[in-house]
Structure 1
Amino acid sequence: MPEILIVYYSRTGNVAQLARLVARGVEEVPGMRARLRSVPPVAPVTATATPPVPEEGAPYATLDDLRECAGVILGSPTRFGNMAAPLKHFIDSTGAEWASGTLVGKPAAAFTSTSTMHGGQESTLLTMLLPLLHHGALIVGLPFTEAALNSTTTGGTPYGASHVTGTNADRALSEDSRVLARTLGRRVATIAAKLAS
């Protein structure tokens, strides 16, 4: 069964929650399955090593996951308008996959969360989409035909799904954010299914 790879980094759990909703959207498409993978945190102390298997949550992504997927969706919290370092570190390890064209022609998308409404959602999504363009992936966004994109006051952009967590990272996902996350997963999976046939 074709799988859509969802690779994310989550520090407070909000991006992980979005990832699960994106996965639900993927699995709403007949014949498609979601493969949830996280990335480990990075540390400025090079002697610190993360265990090869996380203590909780999704397993860590491997380069094999990229090779085996029919599409990929990246998720990260915002760090000064940019993706978080752990996700960037994973992407930076994909040089051989770039050279061999592993993601060429595969649909791809992104999602994020920010503490504030003007915390850099769109620029963060773009930082995740740029490497996907270099990989030759087919970028999938959220069109304004999605009603929730026109009514949301809590996140969601044409560049991908998003959520405003609040400065204490405790704001629950709105119904609009939930709908848009599922829609993003469903759109990527639908395009992957069409490409496969």
Structure 2
Amino acid sequence: MQISIVYDSKTGNTQEMARYVIEGITSVEGMKAKAFSIDNIDAEYVKNSCGLIVDTPTYNGYLSARMKAWLESGPAALQVAGKLGGAYATAAFIHGGGDLAIQCILTHLMVDGMMTYSGGQSYGMPVIHLGPVAIAPQLEQFADLFRTYGQRMATQAAALFRN
């Protein structure tokens, strides 16, 4: 089983965090994951995935304009309905809008028919309500949080879709 990650990344921060999410996903037996820039998506890989995690940097307290534009038609074209969806963000400030960006992504994914998931408080600490947010420039200190998020997403995908 596989999960796809689609991200927008201007400085490389959001792309870097995908690496940690992939480490978490692949720590679950039988799970694979790949990350793609919105400029270079492997449509067949995404279509054959059981989940999609969408990631954005924050600008002006919200998701990037490029990601917002992609969300308007990109996921539906990749046949994501019925799959597991999630989101994360990167920001320059703790109050930089990461949670708003994630909420916007999750709303788009639900409109496209996806089941969104984060694990919430059901796993205990660390609690990840909507999706993780990494604050630059100390991205490394959020690595374990992002690995945990990937592991939780993969565990839920396996529970839902493993035959």
Query: By the TM > 0.5 criterion, same fold?
Result: yes
CA contact (8 A) 1:63 1:94 kept: no
- Given candidates 181, 187, 194, the residue that maps to 2:152 is 187
- Given candidates 143, 150, 157, the residue that maps to 1:178 is 143
Give the direction of change, closer, same or farther, for the CA distance of 1:141–1:193 in structure 2 (3 Å limit).
same
- Corresponding pairs, count: 161
**1:89-126 residue CA offsets vs partner (Å, 9 max, x unmatched):** 3222337538xxx2222111111111111111110111
Aligned equivalent of 1:158: 129
Aligned equivalent of 2:32: 33
CA contact (8 A) 2:53 2:85 kept: yes
Comparing 87-96 with 62-71, greater Cα deviation is found at 87-96
1:129 matched to 2:129? The reply is: no
Whole-Å separation in 2 of the counterparts to 1:139 and 1:163: 20
Residue type at the aligned position of 1:75: D
Give the direction of change, closer, same or farther, for the CA distance of 1:24–1:96 in structure 2 (3 Å limit).
closer
1:147 matched to 2:125? The reply is: yes
CA contact (8 A) 1:7 1:61 kept: yes
Bigger Cα Rg: 1
Per-residue deviation at 1:88? 2.3
Gaps of 5+ in 1: 41-59, 150-156
Whole-Å separation in 2 of the counterparts to 1:107 and 1:39: 19
Aligned equivalent of 1:70: 50
- Given candidates 111, 116, 125, the residue that maps to 2:93 is 116
Q: What is the TM-score normalised by the length of structure 2?
A: 0.88
Per-residue deviation at 1:14? 1.3
Over the matched positions of the two proteins, sequence identity in percent amounts to 29
Give the direction of change, closer, same or farther, for the CA distance of 1:95–1:32 in structure 2 (3 Å limit).
closer
Whole-Å separation in 2 of the counterparts to 1:8 and 1:91: 11
Give the direction of change, closer, same or farther, for the CA distance of 1:86–1:62 in structure 2 (3 Å limit).
farther
Give the direction of change, closer, same or farther, for the CA distance of 1:191–1:142 in structure 2 (3 Å limit).
closer
Secondary structure at 1:195 match in 2: helix
Whole-Å separation in 1 of the counterparts to 2:7 and 2:138: 20
Aligned equivalent of 1:43: none
Give the direction of change, closer, same or farther, for the CA distance of 1:87–1:103 in structure 2 (3 Å limit).
same
**1:139-177 residue CA offsets vs partner (Å, 9 max, x unmatched):** 11142344234xxxxxxx511011111xxxx33421xx2
